[in-house]
């Protein structure tokens, strides 16, 4: 885009422009002053072009520092033979300066605008506006924009209606912690920021929208991770009169369109599907990374008669023994301790390791407790060759597979993001056990059961109509066919132990809405931040969020969150606890 102050975008100046008079504007990337001749690079959003000037004719060139904002008018010329720069898109040409104007000088930078240096992230966030000038970050911004454009293009083509839902809604204590906003007009009452537009999109189905989507900001007040922020962006989508396969086919098209846009690859559709059961048993995860093998193997049957106490105890108490072949790994006592520690972190009580020696024998702290036959069976089951490391976990099923699934990821996961492995995980259990042995929904309580009878009679084994999308072991998002029958919805609340009075108070308005001819409906939501993160080869969501927060929820640039004045609190009918007040006073109090 070229207008007004310039005739050309810097990155587009080419041999076609030779002998032409051009004006470019941008930032001084680097000045190289040779005395009688000086070069500097001008960078704008489109790229970089080199300017040549005689400092005697243009003394202003002596003043140019990095990141000065400048305008340059001059004549495009071919670079002298042997001085072309093949690394630069505009490397065949340069601009001979006639006029150089400093539009805006720059202070000395806190860090250089350069992808080759790793800067402390706190400093980057404090000067995010400079950080975003770096080519990698600028590329991530553009990628994100292209991703959302591709999403809108695809869904518009499929007849979807983009609808905005409110971001000040009612709080529901289930699920993640709500971000709360105090109401001034109704002191003492609070809005919540939406964790997702879930109920509103279902209402839109009742409203007759039939095909809805929204690129929605969502909020969850939980602890941070590399792939989790307080606020994040989802593609939220819902449709009526369709089933799971139509939802998946739609989302697949969107994912493929974004992958095509950002990676130029054609993702083969339909995407592979795994049942939750298979994902857990083979990969120890409900978001398996299929870019590598190292699959889990059930060793229980080979060890039913074992004398080894740990295995014996687990098997007798209906647990399971699972193993993985981690392949050739550097091995040491320290490494063994480290992996055992990690296994415990993942919930295991311990970890059995075995290294296959050159003669085929097993080196392991537990080898002496296992019979020759048992050792042989383990080796065969795990395809063990000399030099391989075998890891075995014995526990209740869920723990055993999840521990090995975690270790599998630690040990086998490819470093790069070159390969893309999308997949669906389907047939999730409807409920799972919570820590008190009670029952809790594994998706959300609006997810329909595959069978209502099964849900009522055997809730533990009941399947739900929920599905997840996974890319390279990253959970992109999930969806489900919803409950459209208010009676079933009430039953689910009941099974979950939500008192009918409470359900009525919290969700009565929604249950009532379901009574007015609700169409069968279902949908999906996936995290745009995570999708763009993986496609851009980033390992943190913060690299694709323009202004993210640190792990403690702070924005180092603006200082948010901040203390507020007493009069603001008074207007809201909110007071600080004594300890918060003390911290505020210690910090120098409120501003203004």
Partner RNA sequence: GGGCGCGUAGAACAGUCUGGAGUGUUCGCCGGCCUGUCAAGCCGGAGGUCGCGGGUUCAAAUCCCGUCGUGCCCGCCA
The interface with RNA within residues 99-158 (CB under 7 A) comprises 108-112, 114, 116-123
556 binds RNA (CB under 7 A): yes
Judged by CB, which is closer to RNA: 366, or 498? 498
Task: For residue 579, give both structure tokens.
Answer: 């300890």
Judged by CB, which is closer to RNA: 2, or 496? 496
440 binds RNA (CB under 7 A): yes
Judged by CB, which is closer to RNA: 133, or 302? 133
Mark 212-251 with x for binding to RNA (rule: CB under 7 A) and - for no binding: --------x-xxxxxxx-----------------------
Q: What angle do CA 91, 95, 100 make, to 5 degrees?
A: 135
Residues sharing a CB contact under 8 Å with residue 105, sequence separation 6 or more, in sequence order = 63, 65, 68, 69
Q: Which stretch binds RNA (CB under 7 A): 77-85, 131-139, 374-382, 383-391?
A: 77-85
Q: Which 3 state secondary structure label does DSSP give 485?
A: coil
From 553, 520, 546, 549, select the one nearest 532 (Cα to Cα): 546
Judged by CB, which is closer to RNA: 183, or 540? 540
Q: How far is the CB of 121 from RNA (least distance, A)?
A: 5
Map the footprint of RNA across residues 268-297, applying CB under 7 A: none
Q: In angstroms, rounded to a whole number, what is the distance separating the alpha carbons of residues 448 and 433?
A: 18
Q: How far is the CB of 124 from RNA (least distance, A)?
A: 8
Q: Which stretch binds RNA (CB under 7 A): 169-177, 181-189, 363-371, 573-581?
A: 169-177
Task: For residue 493, give both structure tokens.
Answer: 């609340």
506 binds RNA (CB under 7 A): no
Task: For residue 142, give both structure tokens.
Answer: 């553009």
> Site for RNA (CB under 7 A): which residue of 550, 566, 574, 590?
550
Q: Which stretch binds RNA (CB under 7 A): 361-369, 442-450, 508-516, 566-574?
A: 442-450
Q: Which stretch binds RNA (CB under 7 A): 5-13, 88-96, 300-308, 573-581?
A: 88-96
> Site for RNA (CB under 7 A): which residue of 300, 329, 442, 590?
442
464 binds RNA (CB under 7 A): no
> Site for RNA (CB under 7 A): which residue of 3, 4, 19, 82?
82
Residue in the block written with tokens 């969806």 = 479
Chain-centroid distance of CA 247 in Å reads 21
Judged by CB, which is closer to RNA: 261, or 543? 543
Judged by CB, which is closer to RNA: 184, or 396? 396
Judged by CB, which is closer to RNA: 267, or 463? 463
Map the footprint of RNA across residues 419-438, applying CB under 7 A: 435
91 binds RNA (CB under 7 A): yes
Dihedral of CA 168/172/176/181: which sign? positive
From 50, 38, 39, 113, select the one nearest 78 (Cα to Cα): 50
Judged by CB, which is closer to RNA: 384, or 479? 479
87 binds RNA (CB under 7 A): yes
Map the footprint of RNA across residues 349-388, applying CB under 7 A: none
Task: For residue 436, give both structure tokens.
Answer: 């008190």
Q: Which stretch binds RNA (CB under 7 A): 155-163, 190-198, 324-332, 503-511?
A: 190-198
Residues sharing a CB contact under 8 Å with residue 321, sequence separation 6 or more, in sequence order = 298, 299, 300, 303, 311, 314, 315, 392, 393, 394, 400
* DSSP 8-class letter at 8: S
Q: How many residues bind RNA (CB under 7 A)?
A: 71
Judged by CB, which is closer to RNA: 203, or 257? 203
Counting every residue written for the chain, the total comes to 592
User: How is the chain split among helix, strand and coil, in percent rounded to 5?
Assistant: 35, 25, 40
85 binds RNA (CB under 7 A): yes
Residue in the block written with tokens 């994040």 = 232
> Site for RNA (CB under 7 A): which residue of 21, 149, 176, 328?
176
Q: In angstroms, rounded to a whole number, what is the distance separating the alpha carbons of residues 349 and 19?
A: 75
Q: How far is the CB of 117 from RNA (least distance, A)?
A: 5
Buried b (16+ CB within 10 A) or exposed e, 283-300: bbbbbbbbbbebebbebb
Map the footprint of RNA across residues 28-57, applying CB under 7 A: 30, 32-37, 39, 41, 50, 52, 54
> Site for RNA (CB under 7 A): which residue of 1, 3, 4, 80?
80
543 binds RNA (CB under 7 A): no
From 200, 212, 213, select the one nearest 167 (Cα to Cα): 200
Task: Say if residues 196 and 236 touch (Cβ distance below 8 Å).
Answer: yes
Judged by CB, which is closer to RNA: 218, or 355? 218
From 32, 38, 77, 28, select the one nearest 59 (Cα to Cα): 38
14 binds RNA (CB under 7 A): no
416 binds RNA (CB under 7 A): no
> What residues pair up with 475 in beta bridges, in sequence order?
470
Judged by CB, which is closer to RNA: 203, or 382? 203
Task: Say if residues 411 and 329 touch (Cβ distance below 8 Å).
Answer: yes
441 binds RNA (CB under 7 A): yes
> Residue 219 CB: number of other CB atoms within 10 A?
20
Judged by CB, which is closer to RNA: 183, or 440? 440
406 binds RNA (CB under 7 A): yes
Backbone torsion region of residue 507, taken as left when φ is above 0, otherwise alpha when ψ lies between -120 and 50, otherwise beta: alpha
Residue in the block written with tokens 């470019």 = 24
């Amino acid at each position: 885009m070229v207008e007004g102050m310039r005739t050309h975008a810097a990155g587009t100046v080419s041999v076609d422009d030779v002998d032409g008079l051009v004006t470019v504007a941008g930032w001084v990337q680097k000045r190289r002053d040779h005395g009688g001749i000086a070069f500097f690079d001008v960078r704008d959003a489109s790229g970089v072009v080199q300017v040549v000037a005689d400092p005697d004719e243009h003394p202003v060139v002596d003043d140019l520092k990095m990141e000065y904002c400048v305008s340059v008018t001059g004549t495009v010329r071919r670079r002298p033979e042997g001085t072309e720069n093949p690394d630069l898109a505009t490397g065949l040409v340069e601009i001979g300066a006639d006029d150089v104007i400093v539009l805006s000088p720059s202070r000395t930078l806190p860090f250089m605008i350069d992808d080759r240096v790793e800067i402390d992230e706190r400093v980057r966030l404090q000067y995010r506006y400079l950080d975003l000038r770096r080519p990698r970050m600028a590329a991530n911004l553009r990628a994100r924009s292209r991703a959302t454009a591709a999403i809108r293009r695809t869904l518009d083509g499929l007849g979807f209606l983009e609808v905005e839902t409110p971001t000040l809604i009612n709080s529901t204590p289930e699920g993640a912690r709500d971000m709360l906003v105090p109401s001034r007009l109704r002191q003492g009452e609070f809005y919540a920021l939406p964790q997702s537009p879930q109920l509103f999109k279902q209402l839109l189905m009742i409203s007759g929208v039939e095909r809805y989507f929204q690129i929605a900001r969502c909020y969850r007040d939980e602890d941070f991770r590399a792939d989790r922020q307080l606020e994040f962006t989802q593609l939220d989508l819902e449709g009526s009169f369709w089933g799971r396969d139509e939802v998946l086919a739609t989302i697949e098209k969107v994912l493929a369109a974004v992958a095509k846009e950002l990676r130029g690859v054609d993702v083969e559709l339909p995407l592979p599907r795994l049942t939750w059961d298979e994902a857990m048993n083979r990969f120890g995860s409900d978001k398996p990374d299929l870019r590598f093998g190292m699959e889990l193997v059930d060793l229980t049957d080979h060890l039913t008669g074992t004398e080894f106490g740990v295995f014996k105890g687990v098997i007798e108490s209906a647990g399971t023994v699972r193993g993985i072949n981690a392949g050739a790994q550097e091995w040491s006592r320290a490494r063994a301790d480290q992996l055992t520690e990690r296994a415990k972190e993942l919930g295991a009580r311990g970890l059995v390791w075995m290294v296959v020696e050159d003669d085929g024998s097993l080196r392991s702290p537990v080898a002496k407790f296992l019979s020759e036959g048992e050792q042989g069976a383990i080796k065969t089951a795990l395809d063990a060759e000399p030099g391989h490391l075998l890891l075995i976990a014995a526990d209740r099923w869920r723990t055993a597979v999840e521990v090995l699934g975690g270790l599998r990821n630690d040990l086998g996961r490819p470093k790069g993001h070159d390969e893309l492995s999308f997949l669906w995980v389907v047939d999730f259990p409807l409920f799972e056990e919570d820590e008190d042995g009670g029952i809790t929904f594994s998706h959300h309580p609006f997810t329909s059961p595959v069978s209502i009878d099964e849900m009522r009679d055997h809730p533990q084994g009941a399947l739900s109509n929920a599905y997840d999308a996974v890319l390279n072991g990253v959970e992109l998002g999930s969806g489900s066919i919803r409950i459209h029958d208010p009676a079933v919805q009430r039953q689910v609340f009941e099974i979950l132990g939500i008192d009918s009075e409470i359900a009525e108070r919290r969700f009565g308005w929604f249950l009532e809405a379901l009574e007015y001819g609700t169409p069968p409906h279902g949908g999906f939501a996936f995290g745009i931040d995570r999708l763009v993160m993986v496609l851009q080869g980033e390992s943190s969501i913060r690299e694709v969020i323009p202004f993210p927060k640190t792990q403690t929820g702070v924005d180092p640039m603006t200082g948010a969150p901040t203390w507020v004045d007493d009069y603001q609190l008074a207007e809201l009918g909110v007071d600080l606890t004594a300890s918060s007040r003390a911290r505020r006073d210690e910090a120098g109090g409120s501003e203004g």
